Amino acid sequence: MGTAETSYEVILPQSRVVLTYTIPRAESDYLSFQLQNANSIPVDTWSVTEPDWGTPEDPNDPDEVDPDGDWKLLNTLFQEVQRHVTGWDKVVNDIEQALSAQGPIGRTPRP
């Protein structure tokens, strides 16, 4: 087992965006952002390696750790696409409604 990968794609009217989070076994994690045309042919790919959070003098200074902000940008985009694709907002909304309702919350699964 060498590499773990999670990939999501979003289809737009004339294009497709594919975001992939890759976790290699012996290297830094990286995010890939691929733009595809309407025929799913790649037109551009951008990859960003996770910064080494332990080497800067001040690891709490985001400009020192990730000076271009590329990791933060792609990581934020990946998280938003992941939330959309997995339906995170619908799950949270469902839980909030259950908590605000009277009586028992949900039902137990059947054995």
Give tens-digit pLDDT for 10-46: 898 999 999 999 999 888 899 999 999 999 999 999 9
Give tens-digit pLDDT for 72-87: 888 888 899 898 888 8
Which bin fits 18, alpha (ψ -120 to 50), beta or left (φ > 0)?
beta
Alpha helical stretches, state H, 8-47: none
| pTM of this structure | 0.67
In which element (H, E) is residue 65 found?
Answer: helix 62-65
Contact 81, 10 (CB under 8 A): yes
